Amino acid sequence: MQPALHLTTKVLPGNKIEIEIPEGSIGDTVDVFVVMPEKPQQKKQSVLELIEESRSKHARRSAEDIDRQLQEERDSWDS
């Protein structure tokens, strides 16, 4: 069976890593596998999905209700 090591290291500036192996001779060829940590994937939404999500979070208002609110706001300016 081939000997193997499991090492953990940090990414250094320049996206570089440095590892030290306890055994080995200068000039030996070794295989290195890098396993990146899983990062949560962000759900990509289309513009239509974003609009629908926004609409579902806010109660639908009638045009009359919106007009009434705008008029109340305008009336408050005169006071």
Which pLDDT band, with edges at 50, 70 and 90, does 70 fall under?
very high
* pLDDT higher than 90, residue 16: yes
Length in residues, the chain:
79
Residue 62: per-residue pLDDT: 85
Q: What is the pLDDT of residues 23-68, one digit of tens each?
A: 888 898 888 888 888 888 777 888 888 888 888 887 778 889 889 9
What separation in angstroms does the CA of 43 have from each of 14, 49, 63, 64?
A: 29, 11, 33, 36
71 burial (CB, 10 Å; 0-12 / 13-18 / 19+) is exposed
pTM assigned to the model: 0.41
Residue 79: per-residue pLDDT: 64
